[in-house]
């Protein structure tokens, strides 16, 4: 990586770029570019050996004009204030582009969870939930999973909140296990929307995802499900990777077997059905029809972008392209389905989970998947209409134009407050 890109600056550049196609007052644009508030806190927990450990944690509530703040909680050593601010801002525009009634938030703890026991992770999670309790709530701020967090952490989070509040409030957090109030289809939702959006992009270009060659960077929740669903639509998964490296097969990999291998060994590397191994950089620059970055932000910088040969990119990860990479790929006519639409399945099914929690009435998986399909296809169609009507340079700009306009409408309609 040659660029050291601050994701918060990337977000602000994306907003500036889209705003230049809208008639927005400078003061209002500034409001759209800054979080409403950020909590920075230090959590102290007891390690299993009795020693104390203090870790940094954050929660950013970026914008609540369209509804309660909504966004995941990430456990990763790279978590920092600006990253959390950026991720919370992307949530605002993601919820707006798929038109679900939420604002945007995001949280994180700067730890490498592999350095902690399960009991220690539980204590860290409960300490964070305790610290966040005054800020969150079913109608205020609703966290969810992100990198290195999942159902287990969400269940602990809900239990901590409900115990401290002496109530039941399953809608305080989403991404829970089904027996703790989770929704059918939530685990698969992010990968599912990434692939639905990619399928729509192929169709828009007069092509088909069936038979397309696909490379997937990152084989966690988002990446592996995207690989599995693309494979089920007849695409050929020629390469996948994780933080240890990647595997390649010209004839196509079996995504389920690769996942089983990763579950057994901790990595996709060494999968016996592969033809060869490759680095993440080699994977990103493969000559494929569809590239799915599903690891972390800034995975593709300008150097990698110049070597990218994919026709379509569907962004499962948040912010996987640096702004310079984005410009290079736009010049190369690579069709990029932006993260705020492609990976919006996660938050959309989180919304469905919240609706079900509030109603205490649960849907089956088919209903969840059908509703998700219609949200993503409608959002994609609106995006294309705006892209064509306004003659916008990229689908990303079109997504931000749609989303910013919706946030501004909600803010304006709220009227003035002294």
Q: Give the residues lining the site for ligand NAD (CB under 6 A).
A: 145-148, 190, 217-223, 241-243, 280, 294-296, 316-318, 343, 346
| Residue 107 token pair | 């949280």
- 90 or 363: whose CB is closer to ligand NAD? 90
244-to-28, 122, 241, 248, 304 alpha-carbon distances in Å: 44, 26, 7, 14, 18
Name the residue number minimizing CB distance to ligand NAD.
Answer: 220
- 67 or 145: whose CB is closer to ligand NAD? 145
Q: How far is the CB of 53 from ligand NAD (least distance, A)?
A: 22
Helix, strand or coil, per DSSP, at residue 46:
strand
- Backbone φ and ψ of 10, nearest 5°: -60, -45
Give the number of residues written for the chain.
Answer: 418
Q: How far is the CB of 344 from ligand NAD (least distance, A)?
A: 8
Q: How far is the CB of 193 from ligand NAD (least distance, A)?
A: 9
- 163 or 243: whose CB is closer to ligand NAD? 243
140 is catalytic: no
- 103 or 223: whose CB is closer to ligand NAD? 223
Are 136 and 354 in contact by the 8 Å Cβ rule? The answer is no
For the residues of 69-97, what is the DSSP string, one character each?
A: EEEEEEE-TT--HHHHHHHHHHHHHHHHH
Which entry of 70, 94, 106, 158 is annotated as an active-site residue?
106
For the residues of 197-263, what is the DSSP string, one character each?
A: HHHHHHHHTT--STT-EEEEE--SHHHHHHHHHHHHTT-EEEEEEETTEEEE-TT---HHHHHHHHH
- 73 or 328: whose CB is closer to ligand NAD? 73
Q: What is the DSSP letter of 388?
A: H
Task: Say how far apart CA 36 and CA 405 lie, in whole Å.
Answer: 18
Q: How far is the CB of 293 from ligand NAD (least distance, A)?
A: 8
The burial of 129, by beta-carbon neighbours within 10 Å (0-12 exposed, 13-18 middle, 19 or more buried), is given as buried
Q: How far is the CB of 73 from ligand NAD (least distance, A)?
A: 11
- 107 or 408: whose CB is closer to ligand NAD? 107
Q: How far is the CB of 386 from ligand NAD (least distance, A)?
A: 22
Catalytic residues: 106
């Amino acid at each position: 990586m040659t660029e050291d890109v601050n994701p918060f600056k990337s977000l602000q550049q994306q907003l500036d770029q889209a705003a230049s196609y809208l008639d927005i007052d400078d003061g209002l644009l500034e409001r759209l570019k800054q979080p409403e508030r950020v909590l920075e806190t230090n959590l102290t927990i007891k390690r299993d050996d009795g020693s104390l450990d203090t870790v940094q944690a954050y929660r950013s509530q970026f914008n609540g004009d369209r509804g309660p703040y909504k966004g995941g909680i990430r456990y990763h050593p790279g978590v920092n204030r600006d990253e959390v601010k950026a991720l919370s801002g992307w949530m605002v525009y993601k919820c707006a582009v798929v038109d679900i009634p939420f604002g945007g938030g995001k949280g994180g703890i700067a730890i490498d969870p592999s350095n902690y026991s399960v009991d220690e992770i539980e204590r860290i999670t409960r300490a964070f939930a305790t610290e966040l309790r005054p800020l969150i709530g079913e109608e205020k701020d609703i966290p969810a999973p992100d990198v290195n967090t999942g159902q287990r952490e969400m269940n602990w989070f809900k239990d901590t909140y409900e115990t401290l509040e002496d109530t039941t409030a399953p809608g305080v957090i989403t991404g829970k296990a089904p027996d703790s109030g989770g929704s059918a289809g939530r685990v698969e939702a992010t990968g599912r929307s990434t692939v639905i959006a990619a399928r729509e992009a192929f169709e828009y270009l007069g092509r088909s995802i069936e038979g397309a060659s696909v490379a997937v960077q990152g084989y966690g929740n988002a990446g592996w499900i995207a690989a599995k669903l693309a494979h089920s639509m007849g695409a050929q998964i020629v390469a996948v990777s994780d933080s240890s490296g990647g595997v390649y097969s010209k004839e196509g990999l079996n995504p389920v077997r690769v996942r089983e291998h990763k579950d057994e060994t901790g990595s996709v590397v060494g999968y016996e059905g592969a033809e060869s191994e490759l680095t993440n950089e080699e994977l990103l620059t493969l000559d494929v029809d569809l590239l799915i970055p599903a690891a972390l932000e800034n995975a593709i910088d300008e150097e990698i972008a110049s070597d990218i040969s994919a026709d379509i990119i569907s962004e499962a990860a948040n912010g996987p392209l640096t702004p310079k990479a984005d410009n290079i790929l736009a010049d190369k006519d690579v069709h990029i389905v932006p993260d705020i639409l492609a990976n919006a399945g996660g938050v959309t099914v989180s919304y469905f989970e919240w609706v079900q929690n509030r109603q205490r009435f649960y849907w089956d998986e088919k209903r969840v998947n059908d509703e998700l399909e219609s949200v993503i296809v409608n959002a994609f169609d609106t995006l294309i209409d705006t892209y064509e009507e306004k003659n916008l340079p990229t689908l990303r700009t079109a997504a931000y134009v749609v989303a910013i306009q919706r946030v501004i409408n909600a803010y304006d309609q709220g009227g003035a407050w002294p």
